[in-house]
């Protein structure tokens, strides 16, 4: 393992310190907790709290700010934050209008956020939650934990954050978040595994000529392991599954996110994006807005994911509404 770290025990804490030092105009640290809150707390709106394990930067602290999250809770690397931390975040940002928890669909995240919600409700705070599950690589059935929440979660932060900023009620914010969840689909691929610092070795193995299709953002196995192909063939594979699942019709509009897993350069992400645009153009599906970059990373994994969000007028307006955070800006 070769990383810029001091002590594996202090990675999350030192990262949070570094974030606050870099971006004091956006975020501040909730004293004594692994929680980042908006530097400009807005009073009288529904508050959005998200979070999860660390290692997905800029998620989730990078989305704290105007028009997106009010607080992000950082767990240990790839490990859900604990209920006491989430509870403190809820208390810190509740402005009396209620708090929406945006949870990615992982067993640990759901249990910890639910326990926090129970603690907050016991103190009279109105809490609702949504669970993101955009990863089409995982079968959604009664016999699994369900689809994983991956990069599409960022669109939930953006759009639910926009309507909350505009003064919507908790019920309305939750409803729009659920609408995004119903219309967003993602699939990823890994070329090289990631290494959790405390583990000191890669979470899985891929030989030099292999790729894992359908990879999860913590390196969870995907649908298939295959010899590496050209960028276009890989995009074709991922897009086939995403489109089959969401079934957009010719003339419909989508937002596209090409997300880097942490160790894939922008150059390669743009090459993937090119093919995504070709495929959608062939099908007569209009691209309203494209996002290319590292939005939901997996430490030092080489890989990428493609996210499509089906849009209507309401979602388009909220997607384009002003947002100003470390990791996502809309002018």
Partner 1 sequence: MATKAEVLDFIRIYADKMAEHRQELTDLDQAIGDGDHGINMSRGFKAVMEKLPAVENKSIDEILKTVGMTLVSTVGGAAGPLYGTAFMKAGMSTKGKEELSNEDVILAFDEAVGGIQFRGKAVRGEKTILDSMIPAIDAIKASIKEGKTMAVALVEAEKAAWNGVEYTKTIIATKGRASYLGERSIGHQDPGATSTAYAFQAANEVAQKAGK
Is residue 49 within the footprint of partner 1 (CB under 8 A)? no
- The angle at the Cα of 38, spanning 13 to 168, to the nearest 5 degrees, equals 135
Going by their DSSP bridges, the two strands 286-293 and 127-132 should be labelled as unpaired
CA distances from 218 to 131, 147, 196, 237 (A): 17, 14, 9, 21
| Beta carbon of residue 206, minimum distance to partner 1 (angstroms, whole number) | 14
Is residue 203 within the footprint of partner 1 (CB under 8 A)? yes
List the catalytic residue out of 23, 56, 60, 157: 56
Is residue 139 within the footprint of partner 1 (CB under 8 A)? yes
Is residue 190 within the footprint of partner 1 (CB under 8 A)? no
Q: Which of 20, 41, 108, 320 binds partner 1 (CB under 8 A)?
A: 108
Is residue 78 within the footprint of partner 1 (CB under 8 A)? yes
Q: How many residues bind partner 1 (CB under 8 A)?
A: 34
Is residue 13 within the footprint of partner 1 (CB under 8 A)? no
For residue 307, give the nearest of 129, 148, 146, 139 by alpha carbon. 148
CA distances from 289 to 152, 244, 277, 311 (A): 14, 21, 11, 10
Whichever of 14 and 25 has its CB closer to partner 1, that residue is: 14
| Beta carbon of residue 138, minimum distance to partner 1 (angstroms, whole number) | 5
Q: Left if phi > 0, otherwise alpha if psi is -120 to 50, otherwise beta: which for 293?
A: left
Whichever of 203 and 293 has its CB closer to partner 1, that residue is: 203
Which range binds partner 1 by CB under 8 A, 63-71, 110-118, 172-180, 230-238?
Answer: 110-118
Give the integer Cα–Cα distance in Å for 136 and 216: 10
Is residue 50 within the footprint of partner 1 (CB under 8 A)? no
Whichever of 94 and 220 has its CB closer to partner 1, that residue is: 220
Q: Which of 13, 20, 82, 128 binds partner 1 (CB under 8 A)?
A: 82
Q: Which of 104, 148, 157, 174 binds partner 1 (CB under 8 A)?
A: 148
- The angle at the Cα of 129, spanning 127 to 132, to the nearest 5 degrees, equals 165
Is residue 220 within the footprint of partner 1 (CB under 8 A)? yes
218 tagged catalytic: yes
153 in helix, strand or coil? Answer: helix
Which range binds partner 1 by CB under 8 A, 137-145, 165-173, 228-236, 288-296?
Answer: 137-145
Q: Which two tokens stand for residue 178?
A: 């659920």
Pair 132, 148: CB distance under 8 Å: no
Give the integer Cα–Cα distance in Å for 272 and 270: 5
Give φ, ψ of 199 to 5 degrees. Answer: -85, -35
Name the site residues for partner 1 (rule: CB under 8 A).
Answer: 53, 75-85, 106-108, 111-112, 115, 138-139, 143-145, 148, 196, 198-199, 203-204, 216, 218-221
Q: Among all residues, which ones are annotated catalytic?
A: 56, 218
């Amino acid at each position: 393992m070769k990383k810029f770290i001091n002590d594996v025990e202090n990675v999350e804490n030192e990262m949070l310190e570094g974030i606050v030092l870099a971006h004091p105009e956006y975020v501040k640290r909730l004293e004594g907790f692994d929680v980042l809150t908006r530097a400009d707390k807005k009073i009288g709106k529904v508050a959005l709290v998200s979070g999860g394990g660390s290692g997905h930067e800029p998620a989730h602290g990078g989305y704290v700010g105007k028009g997106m999250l009010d607080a992000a809770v950082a767990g240990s690397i790839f490990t859900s934050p604990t209920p006491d931390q989430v509870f403190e975040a809820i208390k810190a940002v509740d402005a009396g209008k209620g708090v929406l928890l945006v949870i990615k669909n992982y067993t640990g995240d759901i249990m910890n956020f639910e326990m926090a919600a129970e603690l907050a409700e016991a103190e009279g705070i109105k809490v609702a939650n949504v669970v993101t599950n955009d990863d089409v690589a995982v079968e959604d059935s009664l016999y699994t934990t369900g689809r994983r929440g991956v990069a599409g979660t960022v669109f939930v932060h953006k759009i639910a954050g926009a309507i909350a900023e505009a003064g919507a009620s908790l019920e309305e914010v939750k409803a729009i978040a659920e609408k995004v969840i119903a219309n967003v689909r993602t699939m990823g691929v890994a070329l090289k595994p990631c290494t959790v610092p405390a583990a000191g070795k890669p979470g899985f193995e891929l030989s030099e000529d292999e790729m894992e299709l359908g990879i999860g953002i913590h390196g969870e196995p995907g649908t298939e392991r295959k010899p590496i192909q050209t960028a276009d063939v890989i995009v074709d594979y991922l897009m086939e599954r995403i489109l089959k699942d969401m079934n957009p019709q010719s003339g419909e509009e989508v937002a596209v996110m090409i997300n880097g897993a942490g160790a894939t350069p922008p150059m390669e992400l743009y090459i993937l994006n090119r093919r995504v645009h070709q495929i959608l153009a062939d099908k007569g599906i209009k691209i309203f807005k494209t996002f290319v970059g590292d939005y939901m990373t997996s430490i030092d994994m080489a890989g990428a994911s493609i996210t499509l969000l089906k849009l209507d007028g309401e979602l388009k307006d909220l997607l384009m509404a002003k947002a100003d955070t470390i990791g996502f800006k809309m002018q």
